[in-house]
Amino acid sequence: GAGVSQSPSNKVTEKGKDVELRCDPISGHTALYWYRQSLGQGLEFLIYFQGNSAPDKSGLPSDRFSAERTGGSVSTLTIQRTQQEDSAVYLCASSLRGDRRGGDEQYFGPGTRLTVT
């Protein structure tokens, strides 16, 4: 079946502009995650959505970052007033239940490569 999809695959933007990154999770998955992968830094958790619960935003690095999940499916990560240090690959993942009660793996999309010039 279809996996997690993300768009755009690449985004180049000028410093100070706003960007929106989109994630389409696997159909039926209730949990959705955003991570950021910077060179040499591994993946860094940003935000987590589970069903209709309030999102866990504890990983967002600043108030310039926000995310929404509409209708329990598609999610958009917005970065306002982009800075050069925001350049990274932004990865989205989804999982069936959003907990670790055995077998609830996170499936990742291919990512959006963001370059801020």
Residues making contact with other proteins (CB under 8 A): 4, 31, 33, 35, 40-45, 48, 50, 56, 58-59, 91, 93, 95, 98-100, 102, 105-111
Q: Spell out where the chain has E strands.
A: 5-7, 10-13, 19-24, 31-38, 42-50, 65-69, 75-79, 88-95, 107-108, 112-116
Question: Which strands form 75-79's sheet, in the order they lie side by side?
Answer: 5-7, 19-24, 75-79, 65-69
Q: Partners of 112 in the beta sheet?
A: 90
Of 80 and 96, the one with the shorter C-beta distance to other proteins is: 96
Instruction: Supply the minimum distance, in Å, between the C-beta of residue 62 and other proteins.
Output: 18
Nearer of residues 76 and 80 to other proteins, judged by Cβ: 76
Question: In the complex with other proteins, which residue's Cβ is closer, 1 or 40?
Answer: 40
Question: Least distance (Å) from other proteins to the CB of residue 65?
Answer: 16
Minimal distance in Å, beta carbon 66 to other proteins? 18
